[in-house]
Amino acid sequence: MIGFYENCLDRLKKTRGDGWKMITIDGVVGVGKTTLMDIVVKELGYTPFEEPVVNNPILDKFYYDRERYSFPLQVFFLNERFRHIKKASKINRAILDRSIYGDVIFAKMLKDNGEMSEVEFDIYLSLFKNMIEHCQPPLLMIYLEVSTEEAIRRINSRGKKL
């Protein structure tokens, strides 16, 4: 596993050294986004913007009642990621754990699964489009992939049973 992260770090250094202004890491839960972000922070001195799952007033409620809390959770994430992008755009070498763009995919999945209504999704998209007009996009987005089985194994190893 360490070899994978070393490879990512080497590729970052070769493509632009440590001069990327803003990097975003995306992928499914359990893929290793936070681990890679921590390595880039330690090795290249980037400022981290962690995924807003700690002190999230809605996340636990969402896991209990997805239909009721899908929309407020997605709006919470949208707002927090927008806040992160605004702050990150004002500094040099920022790295974000998750992407505001990836959230749209998750929101659509919730709508397609019937866990978010069409009206809620339309409101979410309207907010997203309004916010994204004021965002500086990341110069580099890293998308990590892992098998479903491996993601579940990693999540379970953290004590978060699926």
The token pair at 6 is 């070393």
The answer to whether 24 is annotated as binding is no
d(CA 53, CA 39): 20
The answer to whether 28 is annotated as binding is yes
Does residue 76 contact residue 82 with C-beta atoms inside 8 Å? no
The answer to whether 40 is annotated as binding is no
The answer to whether 157 is annotated as binding is yes
Query: Which of 97, 103, 112, 122 is the catalytic position?
Result: 97
The answer to whether 31 is annotated as binding is yes
Does residue 106 contact residue 124 with C-beta atoms inside 8 Å? no
**What is the bridge-based pairing of β-strands 140-143 and 22-26?**
parallel
The answer to whether 54 is annotated as binding is no
Does residue 138 contact residue 23 with C-beta atoms inside 8 Å? yes
122 is catalytic: no
- Binding site: which residues? 27-35, 154-158
- Binding site for ATP: which residues? 27-35, 154-158
Active site residues: 97
